Amino acid sequence: MGYAQLVIGPAGSGKSTYCSSLYEHCVAARRTINIVNLDPAAENFDYPVAMDIRELISLEDVMEELGLGPNGGLMYCMENRVALAILFRHLEDNLDDWLEEELDNYLDDDYLVFDCPGQIELYSHVPVLKNFVEHLKRKNFNICAVYLLDSQFMSDVTKFISGCMACLSAMVQLELPHVNILSKMDLVTNKKDLEEFLDPEPTFLLSELNQRMGPQFAKLNKALIELVNNYSMVSFIPLDLRKERSIQYVLNQIDNCIQYGEDADVKVKDFDPEDDDE
């Protein structure tokens, strides 16, 4: 049995920074985790990369295929679905084999953290990530999606709802247990305003939303809030990377979600030295 976090969320929400902070936290706690780069366009890493998707497909490959320079290539990747499609088609074809090969280097109870790219298409309607998850499941991995949302999304209710909808679409598509995180808490000056969004009352959200939008949207607002509420999605854990306690709390939530440590407890009990005395 392996354990995995799939770190997802919109571009710039802090996924890679989270991965490197988590890595440092685990090193200090003498715990082994392996961070995997799944972003073909990534360049610099603050963490040691255990597995790297760029071995399979890189921005250079896209540039070559489309005859573009580095900036054009990146812009194309960001903006153009065709380039994304090429990128993902490459991935689709080879991902399972690559994963199969790479995973051979890891032991049964290893803990992998996948740093994903921020293209929202990946989580909403391109099946590549879903297939990737299925492969990991077949390999006996307990997986949890860790969705990062920038705390700046909490500044008003309309942004909050749009953040929730993107998150929800990822969850429906991936069908994984999920932990939602509000990143960059160090940038939040007024924590009080934000508290109302952390575990919000549906009635509060609805009245805020109705205030912000014209009366013609009342019905739509009601439906949106009901949807978000029905999926019990609207719950975020704030994460302040400056505080070890905050990182540990988030890690505990995720570990619970993938039942990491539960088997270890059993093992410890099996080898209880007092048993030897009997």
Ligand X SMILES: Nc1nc2c(ncn2[C@@H]2O[C@H](COP(=O)(O)OP(=O)(O)OP(=O)(O)O)[C@@H](O)[C@H]2O)c(=O)[nH]1
For binding to Mg ion (CB under 5 A), which residues are involved?
15-16
Q: Between 46 and 186, whose beta carbon lies closer to Mg ion?
A: 46
Of the residues 23, 35, 38, 39, which one makes contact with ligand X according to CB under 6 A = 39
102-141 binders of ligand X (CB under 6 A)? 117-118
- Under the criterion CB under 6 A, does residue 13 sit at the interface with ligand X? yes
267, two tokens: 């093992």
Q: How far apart are CA 221 and CA 161, in angstroms?
A: 10
- Residue showing the smallest CB distance to Mg ion in the complex: 16
Q: How far apart are CA 15 and CA 147, in angstroms?
A: 9
Q: Between 16 and 173, whose beta carbon lies closer to Mg ion?
A: 16
198-237 binders of ligand X (CB under 6 A)? none
Give start and end residues of each alpha helix (H) in 67-185. Answer: 70-79, 81-103, 121-124, 128-138, 157-174
Q: Between 173 and 183, whose beta carbon lies closer to ligand X?
A: 183
CB of 228 to ligand X, least distance (A): 23
CB of 98 to Mg ion, least distance (A): 19
Of 233, 250, 3, 42, nearest to 139 by C-alpha is: 3
194, 237 Cβ separation under 8 angstroms: no
- Under the criterion CB under 6 A, does residue 11 sit at the interface with ligand X? yes
Q: How far apart are CA 27 and CA 192, in angstroms?
A: 33
Torsion over CA: 49, 34, 125, 199 (sign): negative
**Torsion of the alpha carbons at 2, 32, 38 and 171, rounded to the nearest 10:** 50
Q: Which residue stretch of 10-18, 27-35, 60-68, 139-147 sits at the interface with ligand X (rule: CB under 6 A)?
A: 10-18
The amino acid sitting at 2 is: G
Q: Between 11 and 75, whose beta carbon lies closer to ligand X?
A: 11
Q: Which residue stretch of 56-64, 130-138, 178-186, 253-261 sits at the interface with ligand X (rule: CB under 6 A)?
A: 178-186
The contact set with ligand X (CB under 6 A) reads 9, 11-17, 39, 117-118, 183-184, 186-187, 241
